[in-house]
């Protein structure tokens, strides 16, 4: 006689659904953080480099040729002052953006770790269930073999 196979209880998902970290963080951005990200994106682009190079070249040409009035004669002290101010403000904004992105990366790594733990738990449950099914199939196979032996006269 076959005994009743024992299966593990059904798995219950007792965790909150995984959220998209990028969307959660984007919703929480302050105006200053958005501004820092915008500055970092614009200053760190080829469009900015090309545009600034053209502007500085035009500035130098206009002041060297005196085509217009010399508002910043060579050695372009006003241009240097403007570039220094630009660097003084953009560098900290870029650092703020990078620091925030590093924080986001740490949060994403933590979420990845939590997802991996949940997946490991669910895989363990699946493997336990498969093992219980293997035992049940072996019992059924044995029972069918016993029935077949009884019908053929049990050699």
- Residue 146 has a pLDDT of 78
Q: For position 16, what pLDDT does the model report?
A: 77
Domain-located, residue 88: yes
Q: How many domains does the chain contain in total? A: 1
Residue 45 lies in a domain: yes
Closest CA to 97 of 46, 42, 47: 42
Q: What angle do CA 11, 119, 24 make, to 5 degrees?
A: 110
Mean pLDDT by 10 residues, the chain (155 residues): 72 78 87 93 95 95 83 92 96 94 90 91 92 89 80 66
Which domain covers residue 131, as residue numbers?
A: 32-151
pLDDT recorded at residue 97: 93
**Pair 9, 123: CB distance under 8 Å:** no
pLDDT of residue 2: 56
């Amino acid at each position: 006689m076959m005994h009743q196979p024992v299966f593990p209880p059904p798995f219950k998902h007792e965790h909150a659904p995984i959220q998209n970290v990028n969307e959660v963080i984007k919703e929480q951005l302050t105006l200053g953080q958005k501004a820092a990200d915008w500055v970092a994106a614009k200053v760190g682009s080829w469009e900015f480099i090309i545009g600034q190079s053209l502007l500085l070249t035009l500035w130098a040409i206009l002041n060297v040729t005196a085509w217009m009035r010399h508002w910043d004669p060579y050695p372009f002290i006003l241009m240097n002052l403007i570039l220094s101010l630009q660097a003084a403000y953009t560098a900290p904004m870029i650092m703020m953006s990078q620091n925030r992105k590093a924080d986001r990366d740490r949060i994403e790594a933590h979420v990845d770790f939590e997802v991996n733990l949940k997946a490991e738990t669910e895989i363990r449950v699946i493997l336990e269930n498969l093992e219980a099914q293997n035992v049940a199939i072996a019992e059924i196979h044995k029972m069918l073999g016993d029935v077949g032996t009884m019908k053929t006269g049990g050699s």
